[in-house]
Amino acid sequence: MPVFLLVLALAVFAQGTSEFMLSGLVPGIAADLSVSTGSAASLTSAYALGMVCGAPPMAALSARWPRRRALALFLSVFVAVHVVGALTTSFPLLFATRVAAAVANAGFLAVAMSVATALAAPERQTRATAVLLSGVTLSIVAGVPGGALLGTWAGWRAVFVAVALLCLPALALVLRCAPAGAGAGAGAGSGVPVARELEALASPPVRQALLLAAAVNGATFAAFAYLAVIATESAGLPGGAVPAVLAAFGAGAFAGVLVAGRTGDGRLGRGLVLALLALPAGWAAVALAGGRPVPLFLLAVLLGGLSFGAGSALVGRVMRVASPRAPALSGAFATVALNSGAVAGPLLAGLVTGATGDARDAAWVSTALASAAALPAVALRRRDGRRARAGADA
């Protein structure tokens, strides 16, 4: 596995920390900038929407650039807006920096996914994307809890500065170590115009892979957004135990990504389908048994592993079916699918829990979304099996 993938994973770790860190910084931001808690919390939605809207145009814009230039530019912008965010006393400007950071993150991740698959042999592309996405899971395990502790000790501005500083080694290594031939974009090295790459979205396998990835990620973040509330209000844990619950989920997620990277091949294999079938049952168990501390901790580890393992494998599938026709934009497709789920899942969970008043009902939303991925996956695997047998008979 190319060492440069670890450089990309370091940058993704910093960016993942930035994406998820606000959950522990909202009270401090609200008090410091004299805004409501709801307004401060909207910074999370701003980042998620920036990720969804930013990936396709940023990937298309950078399609003709050398990959080193694209990665360095997106990472430089990401660092700069975090410095501005740390210094500003204006909430509207802070809001704008979160959107800009998300757009830069989306562009970087889209390009990085394309580079990762270009650097790896076809049979190792799922492992390459898993190494890249391990940065996200590590940010949940270490970055977010560490950011919360730093914010408590030194204030939310220090966390923004820390994220910017964390990106600097990755930026230096990108400028120094990015392979010169790490895949130019569409039109530059692939010979495929951007408009032609967008036609890949008309392919049924690409659309199916994107919908599966979005549904699984929607299920993941519908419940993850309410995990802290479930821990304190339903399971009766003290607030100090919340980082441990989140870390348990993150540890499971990290393990799941590692397993997916070693076993996945971009196909709807038996292991992936079994993981998808297990997810609805797991989320239902959270809804039913999440009110007790021990089951909640165990389920956090299990579902972190299943959710991120299946999600990583589905990203590998997106890259496998989309890369031949969309070598520059396939990473953008995957980024949009993941973040569409990350936006839609919590929104649906918010509607349901707002109506019922029970945070555990977010897990029922996750159950429904996970089922929406599992059932089509079973049907697709059976169809592929029938085609394979028909081909063998012929």
What residue segments make up the domains of the chain, in order of their start? 1-180, 192-393
pLDDT for res 189: 45
Task: Report the alpha-carbon distance of residue 222 to residue 366 in Å, rounded.
Answer: 6
Which segments in the chain show pLDDT lower than 50? 182-189
Domains 1-180 and 192-393 fall in the same CATH topology: yes
Question: Residue 123 burial by CB count (10 A; 0-12/13-18/19+): exposed, middle or buried?
Answer: exposed
CB 88, CB 97: distance < 8 Å: yes
pTM, to two decimals = 0.78
192-393: CATH architecture: Up-down Bundle (1.20)
The three-state secondary structure class of 65 is coil
pLDDT for res 287: 94
Residue in this structure with the two tokens 């004299």, named with its chain if needed? 34
Residue in this structure with the two tokens 């970087």, named with its chain if needed? 108
CA 213 to chain centre: 10
Closest CA to 257 of 20, 3, 5, 4: 5
pLDDT for res 369: 97
pLDDT for res 220: 92
CB 12, CB 109: distance < 8 Å: yes
Q: Could you list the beta-strand ranges (E) of the chain.
A: none
pLDDT for res 186: 42
pLDDT for res 91: 94
Helix (H) or strand (E) holding 46: helix 37-61
pLDDT for res 191: 54
Residue range 1-180, CATH number = 1.20.1250.20
Closest CA to 109 of 133, 126, 127: 133
Angle, helices 91-119 vs 67-87, to 10°: value is: 160
Which DSSP symbol is given to 23? Answer: G
Task: Report the alpha-carbon distance of residue 117 to residue 125 in Å, rounded.
Answer: 5
pLDDT for res 184: 43
